[in-house]
Chains A and B, each alone.
Chain A
Amino acid sequence: MPGSMEYPLPRAMWIAVRDAALVTAGCAVVAFGTNALRSMGIPVVAREPYQILVPCPDEVGESIEMAADDARLRSSGTLLIDARDTADYAAWHLERARSVPYDFLDPVNEKAVQEIASTGASVVAVYGDGAEPDSGRELAREIAGKGIRNVHHVVGGAPALQPKAPDAADGGTP
């Protein structure tokens, strides 16, 4: 098997290009063959556009992190927003929290944003599912992007808050 060793550079480059092309072709054969045989293979041509989870850049602002034990979460001047879906909200939510379900694929409800703005709350604290990415953080960023200031998201989301739920003093609503 002739190699590319100690050939003049142009010749060595040509050999590298040839080998790279052959390897790429071989990889394509293996890749398509493997994809066809495996259970989680995908169509070679996508049948419909992928739903892309990229927020529109001009509608996203910056939200501030807030710890789950932050005292402001119990302050009446703080507007609490639950970004989880309605079923999770119904199962448990912080007392006084408003439900604004966040969907990664849909824009934030403008009416809900207007209602948030109309409250005049000094602090807005959003908590979500605590997953990665966290729905609370994403909603907080979108709300901040609408021009509302002092928007925070609770780090860890509802799971970080829920251990305190049985304690009525903490405002948990089972």
Chain B
Amino acid sequence: MTAAVLLGWRGHAWLALPARVYLAGVFLFACWHKILDPHSFAIDVATYRMLPLAAVNAVAIVLPWVELAAGIMLLVGLRARAGALLVAGMMVVFLVAIAWALAHGYDMSCGCFASQGAAADPISWKTVVRDAAWLALALYVLVFDERPLGLDRLLARRA
């Protein structure tokens, strides 16, 4: 099977749909507490000790909204590939951050779905595997979901 045939297979849209909905759910859930409480999320970002202090708040302010936008794009199938690219980019950043924290031996919460005050989601190499799996899903949507089910397809029919 050539790469062109693999890429052109029409069934990808149906395989990608649950991946898109799942990733959308993850990111919409993840962004909620960060948007509601930017101060706590800024502490979460600072706890990784990767960014200069001057960049911490800007990242804490903007990142949750990008998560929200990416989640909506994947959910409704509007510019789904761009949404998948955003998710993949964020997953790469998160993977680097968590690996950095683990390499430095930081005993801390992930901050992914709740603030640092909640010790329910401590970082570990399992977190890295989980995020890598989400990255793989995002890359699948990005590369193979040529005709995403949703608004992209509806708009293309009208064009």
Give chain A's interface residues, CB within 8 Å of chain B: 1-6, 9, 12-13, 15-20, 23-24, 26-28, 30-32, 34-35, 40-46, 49-50, 52-55, 57-58, 60, 132-133
Closest beta carbon of chain A to B87's beta carbon, Å? 10
**A27-B62, A31-B64, A54-B47 given; A42·B42 CB < 8 A:** yes
B47 contacts which of A3, A41, A52 (Cβ < 8 Å)? A52
A50-B42, A50-B56, A54-B47 known, 4 other contacts, Cβ within 8 Å: A5-B146, A6-B156, A42-B39, A55-B107
Q: How far is the CB of B141 from chain A (nearest CB, A)?
A: 10
Structural contact, A44 and B79, CB atoms closer than 8 A: no
A46-B117 contact, Cβ under 8 Å, with A16-B85, A19-B82: no
With a cutoff of 8 Å between Cβ atoms, the chain B residues found around residue A6 in the complex are 146-147, 156
A–B pairs, 17, beta carbons within 8 Å: A5-B146, A6-B146, A6-B147, A15-B81, A15-B82, A19-B81, A27-B62, A31-B62, A35-B38, A40-B39, A42-B42, A46-B53, A46-B56, A50-B43, A52-B46, A54-B47, A54-B108
Q: How many angstroms from the CA of A54 to the CA of B47 in the assembled complex? A: 7
Contact of B38 among A17, A42, A55, A58 (CB under 8 A): A42
Instruction: Out of A24, A35, A57, name the residue touching B107 (CB < 8 Å).
Output: A57
Known: A15-B81, A17-B85. A133 touches B117 (CB 8 A): yes
Count of B interface residues, CB-CB < 8 Å? 52
What distance in Å separates the Cβ of A89 from its nearest Cβ neighbour in chain B? Answer: 23
Which of A16, A19, A46, A132 is close to B57, meaning CB atoms less than 8 Å apart? A46
Residues of B within 8 A of A (CB): 7, 37-39, 42-43, 46-47, 49, 53-54, 56-58, 60-62, 64-66, 68-70, 73, 79, 81-86, 89, 104-108, 116-120, 142-143, 146-148, 152-153, 155-156, 159
| Complex: A28 Cα to B61 Cα, angstroms | 8
C-alpha gap A4/B108 in the complex (Å): 40
Tell whether, in the assembled complex, residue A1 and residue B65 are in contact, meaning their CB atoms are under 8 Å apart.
no
Judge whether B54 and A46 touch: CB under 8 Å: yes
A24 contacts B153, C-beta separation under 8 Å? no
